[in-house]
Amino acid sequence: MQSNHSSGNVLFLILIAVVLFAALSYAVTSSSRSGGNVDKEKNELAISNLMQQLTLLDQSIMRLKILNKCTDKEISFENTTVSGYSFATRDKCKLFEPQGGGLNWLVPVKK
C-alpha cells in the first residue's frame, strides 16, 4: 500500500513541475512579445526564477521524505558555499548532496 501512495506523490510532484515550467515558458514568451517596460519584465522574470527555485526546493524536500525516508529533523541545508549549516545527518538527507536532494547552491542575482 505504501509504495502506491508514494508513487502517486512522485507523479503529482512531476506534474506540478511540468505545469510550473509551462507557466514560466508562457511568461517569458509573452513578455518578449510585448514592448512594455523593461524593468517590469526583468522583475517578473526574477520573480518567476525565484518561484521556480522555491518549487524545486520544495520538491527536493518531498523527495527526501518520500524516497529517502528522511524526517523533518534529519533534512539538512548544509552546503559548500555558506557556512553555519553543519548538521550531523545521513548524506541522503542533505539537500545539496548528490545522494540526497542533488540540488546546486544558487547564488542570488544582484542588480
User: In this structure, is residue 34 part of a structural domain?
Assistant: yes
User: In this structure, is residue 64 part of a structural domain?
Assistant: yes
Domain that holds residue 42: 2-70
Q: What is the pLDDT of residues 30-80, one digit of tens each?
A: 766 655 677 888 888 888 888 888 899 999 999 999 999 999 989 988 888
User: In this structure, is residue 100 part of a structural domain?
Assistant: no
The number of helices, as runs of H, and strands, as runs of E, in the chain is 2, 0
Q: How many domains does the chain have?
A: 1
Q: What is the pLDDT of residues 9-31, one digit of tens each?
A: 666 777 788 888 888 888 877 76
Label residue 69 left, alpha or beta by phi (over 0 means left) and psi (-120 to 50 means alpha): left
Q: Is 37 within 8 Å of 75 (Cβ atoms)?
A: no
